[in-house]
Structure 1
Amino acid sequence: MIIKKINMRHMKMTLKNPFVTSFGRLQEKEFFLLEVFDENGNTGWGESAAFQAPWYTEETVQTTLHIIRDFLVPLLLNKEISHPDEVTEIFSPIKKNNMAKAAIETAIWDLYAKRTNQTLGQAIGGSNDKIAVGISIGIQTSTDKLLDLVHHYIEEGYKRLKVKIKPGYDIEVIQKLREVFPNVLLMADANSSYTLDDIDLLKQLDDYQLMMIEQPLASDDIVDHAKLQKKLNTPICLDESILSLEDARKAIELGSTKVINIKIARVGGLTEAKKIHDYCMEKGVPVWCGGMLEAGIGRAHNIALTSLPNFTLPGDTAGSSHYWEVDIINPEIVVNNGFIDVPKGNGIGVEPNMKVIERFMLDMVVFE
């Protein structure tokens, strides 16, 4: 296939509720939708994930625009591609900027799956026809509000609850959750807000039968996480520290992690995400799919990724209605008793809702 045209739509949507973590508060989500066209007019869709500010990684909405417009599109436009795996090599002269790369790479995967009459899950080797999903709960203004939310999500059937923690909002919160919900599958996400000086505090979390503690230490660290894991019974899950297959290999060899959260955007696309999945499966390390507050296009890509066999733990891919009054796809993503059915249509298996997209679109750039 030859990439002949790319539409890049700048979107802005409002979350139903603000999402609060140790690094900030977010309610307005800006992102880009990438629509790629082949020589026959077939299209594939991808979605960018970087936030407006560099909270999660160094990438932002504006750096995404810069890298895609000034570097990635010139490398890709009018390029003949036999398979989406080649995109990683095409983009290799550009260092990092994984979220910008993933926005286009995932669109090409969608296009490829449609051209070959496959679901995206089938195209990447997925086998599951439904995926178990959990929910991620941001930092709340009161423990009572947190307990009410957890009760609500358990009633909705979510299979796992992830609670954000930070210094001063940690042990007492987890202790209260365990008192009220002794049997729920529970994990804590620290978003890099602790250091090795907090070992004694973090060891207290061993008392609460958590599935895992996600990214307790620095976002670029694997050495101190190995030291911490030796002190804890609770598995450490790495998120921000894993940007590539090489990062995953080194972290597993060092003993820095017992679980890995795979985010398509963080690792630069589906090709690298699949490599990390395959390596972790070979090493007996379970994985799950994290979320970046995606709208429907990005959410559909996450579902396809989670259809791979080593995604044995519930991920963060909640239903559309959890985040948005209206999503940008038809049909919207629906959770039934803690599971999402993997779409059966070709490609990502959902259709962009162009009326809704136009409603939330700030502007569009066309490359051809």
Structure 2
Amino acid sequence: MQINFYRVRIPFLRPFTTSFGTENYREALLFRLVHDGIEAYSEAVTSPIPDYGYEDNATAMHIIGDFAAKYISDLPDPSVFMERARGIKGHNMAKAALEMLLWDYHSKVNDQPLYRYIGKSRGYANVGISIGMAKIEEMLEQIEKAVSMGYKRIKIKIARGREGLVREVRDAFPDIPLSVDANGDYTPSDMPRLKDLDRYDLEYIEQPFPGDDLIYHSRLKKEISTPVCLDESITSADKARKAFDIGAADVINIKPGRIGGFTESLKVAEIARENGGHVWVGGMLETGIGRAFNIAFASLDLVDYPGDTSPNEKYFSRDIVKNPFRMKNGIIEPYHDPGIGVRIDEESLLRYLVDAGTISV
């Protein structure tokens, strides 16, 4: 048995800027498994350079091809694969690409849409939007359009020294559900800057300190009234449990492709509920394949906050799926066909293709 991989490069409609830098395209690793007439797909959420975390496209291909792929030769249950892969330390994004490939495969074997196969679902995902840093006029224009389209939460990216963006947005839109995401750009010496954000009535401040920190997030939470959301800091269910134990989080942004897949993400969501916390599903600028996984997870009853699950027409002029998601009144329904339900646009796949090959399993 083999896994086909495809590396594609899709340009963004506009540059997307965070505290990490500016991205002009999504370079994605896509995987396809064919067995007994069933085609399963997945996507690694890595990027060409290790800016978000230590993983990148090259490390993902190394871990998958040289170590992890052998663990799916008998197409095990996703949880069995994760148990087998425990010896691979870290590399959640690489492992998630295979774990989620198995979720798609097994939900198709069982002739169920993925969102029903993974757990109790409300049948739709509440949708928020993430706005990258740009000239304030451009950001306000994007927000106005998003509000008119019915998005249920607006999130803007911020960085140390650019807190003025929050004031400008709140002045222009005093009543919208608004949150901010710092992507770990602040240090403990910036506590006064972060405390000052209390005045803007935010839904939460996302990941103010670097991803390896829980302690200073706990201290910040004691000093501000705005809820604290953790993203990069939550790499496992164990980390989520510790975050709630020491009072470091009110909210968790679950990115299944970053946490290690659905098996671990379900545990994180359960821990948040047990501790009175809240959960939403974030994105990593995925193609329609990765977005389909996110929407399926975001439809679960365990997920109670709107996530960063915009239709991909926000990012790309043309996706690699024939049936891109459409949003209505701030909600998106997952596909009802078996598995993730996407139909691949082979013409687009070839158009954006940079590299392709096979991995022996």
TM tier, shorter chain?
Answer: over 0.9
**Counterpart-to-counterpart distance in 2, 1:256 and 1:106:** 29
Measure the CA separation in 2 of the matches of 1:18 and 1:135: 15
- Residue aligned with 2:307, SS: coil
| Paired position in structure 1 for 2:345 | 353
1:92 aligned counterpart, secondary structure: helix
Post-superposition CA distance 1:332-365 (Å, at most 9, x none)? 1111121111211110122122221122112221
Output the amino acid matched with 2:96.
A
Structure 2 residue aligned with 1:334, among 326, 335, 340? 326
- Helix, strand or coil at the partner of 1:266: helix
Summarize the alignment of residues 187-206 of structure 1 with structure 2, pairs less than 5 Å apart.
Answer: 187-206=179-198
User: Partners of 1:124 and 1:144 in 2: how far apart?
Assistant: 42
Once the 2 structures are TM-superposed, how far is the Cα of residue 69 of structure 1 from its aligned partner? Answer: 1.2
Q: Which amino acid aligns with 2:147?
A: I
1:157-192 C-alpha deviation (Å, 9 max, x unpaired): 11111101111211x211121111111000010111
The reply on whether 1:93 has 2:90 as its aligned counterpart is no
- Contact 2:75 2:102 (C-alpha < 8 Å) held by counterparts: no
Residues 22, 80 of structure 1: CA spacing in aligned structure 2 closer, same or farther, 3 A cutoff?
A: closer
State the alpha-carbon separation in 1 of the partners of residues 262 and 347 from structure 2: 28
Supply the distance in 2 between the matched residues of 1:208 and 1:146 (Cα, whole angstroms).
17
Match status 1:139 vs 2:136: no
| 1:74 to partner: Cα distance | 2.8
Is 1:48 the equivalent of 2:44? yes
Farther-moved stretch of structure 1 (114-123 vs 240-249): 114-123
Q: Is 1:14 matched up with 2:16?
A: no
Partner of 2:141: 148
How high is the TM-score relative to the length of structure 2? 0.97
Question: How much does 1:80 deviate?
Answer: 4.7
Q: Please report how far the alpha carbon of residue 41 of structure 1 lies from its aligned counterpart in structure 2 after TM superposition.
A: 3.2
* Mapped contact 1:191–1:214 kept (Cα < 8 A): yes
Amino acid at match of 1:59: E
Structure 2 residue matching 1:333: 3-state secondary structure: coil
The amino acid that maps onto 2:92 is N
Cα distance in 2, alignment partners of residues 350 and 205 from structure 1: 41
Worse-superposed segment, 89-98 or 287-296: 89-98
CA RMSD of aligned residues (A): 1.1
Q: Does the aligned pair in 1 maintain the 2:28–2:287 contact within 8 Å?
A: no
2:120 paired with 1:123: no
The aligned counterpart of 1:36 is 33
Q: TM-score of the superposition, structure 1-length normalised?
A: 0.95
What SS class does the counterpart of residue 332 from structure 2 fall into?
strand
Read off the aligned partner of 2:190 and give its amino acid letter: D
Task: State the alpha-carbon separation in 1 of the partners of residues 100 and 121 from structure 2.
Answer: 19
Moved over 6 A (4+): none
Distance 2:187 2:116 in 1: 41
Shift of 1:64: 1.1
- Provide the residue aligned with 2:158 in structure 1: 165
| 1:58 match | 54
Structure 2 residues not aligned, in runs of 5+: none
CA distance in 2, matches of 1:23, 1:244: 22
Q: Does 1:365 align with 2:357?
A: yes
**Gapped runs of 5+ residues in structure 1?**
none
C-alpha distance in structure 2 between counterparts of 1:92 and 1:353, whole Å: 35
1:177-230 CA deviation, whole Å, 9 max, x = no partner? 111111100001011111111111111111111000000012110011101110
Which of 204, 214, 217 is the equivalent residue of 1:222? 214
Q: 2: CA distance between counterparts of 1:247 and 1:12? A: 33
Show the counterpart of 1:26. 23
C-alpha distance in 2 between matches for 1:173 and 1:367: 46
Is the Cα–Cα contact under 8 Å of residues 126 and 299 in structure 2 kept in the other structure?
no
Rounded Cα–Cα distance in structure 2 between residues aligned with 1:297 and 1:163:
25
